Amino acid sequence: GSFEEPLREYVALGRVEYVGHWPLRFAGETLAATAAAPGSELWRPILYEVEAENHCLWRYRGRADWVALLHSPDEFLHVPGRAGPNALSSFLEPLERRRLRISHVELRQAFYGGPERDAATIVGR
């Protein structure tokens, strides 16, 4: 997988579990081209995205208090009005006492980049 090397240190520390070459888990070499050949007619980089998300959620069921699904390594979580390394934890703290009855927390996405457009909403800009 393309992200194996940058994560190696975190895997060694036990902070990250990395599952590389995801399509190989489904059909071996038969479908490897769906992930490894950008530009080919077989290339489908997000073909197994839902399966990867479900694997993560079920793998950590009962082991993690919260799981965040970020779809790209350039995505990040930002908590407005809070700063520092515990910003996300402080955001989730009021939900903690109800965590066993919560199936998920959906966070809005804000797009950045490009020229600002005149619109009524942040997403529209």
Residue by residue, DSSP assigns 10-66 as HHHTTS------TTHHHHGGGGTHHHH-TTSTT--TTTTHHHHHHHHHHHTTTT-S-
CB–CB of 49/41 below 8 Å?
no
72-79 long-range Cβ contacts below 8 angstroms, 24+ apart: 73/3, 73/6, 77/107
- Residue 111 is predicted with a pLDDT of 65
Write phi, then psi, for 122 (nearest 5 degrees): -65, -45
What is the C-alpha radius of gyration for the chain, rounded to an integer number of angstroms? 18
Mean pLDDT of the chain: 78
- Residue 1 is predicted with a pLDDT of 61
Ranges under pLDDT 70 in the chain? 1, 27-28, 30-33, 35-37, 73-74, 109-114, 116, 122-125
- Residue 83 is predicted with a pLDDT of 82
Backbone CA torsion sign across 64, 79, 50, 2: negative
- Residue 9 is predicted with a pLDDT of 95
- Residue 11 is predicted with a pLDDT of 93
- Residue 39 is predicted with a pLDDT of 73
pTM (2 d.p.):
0.59
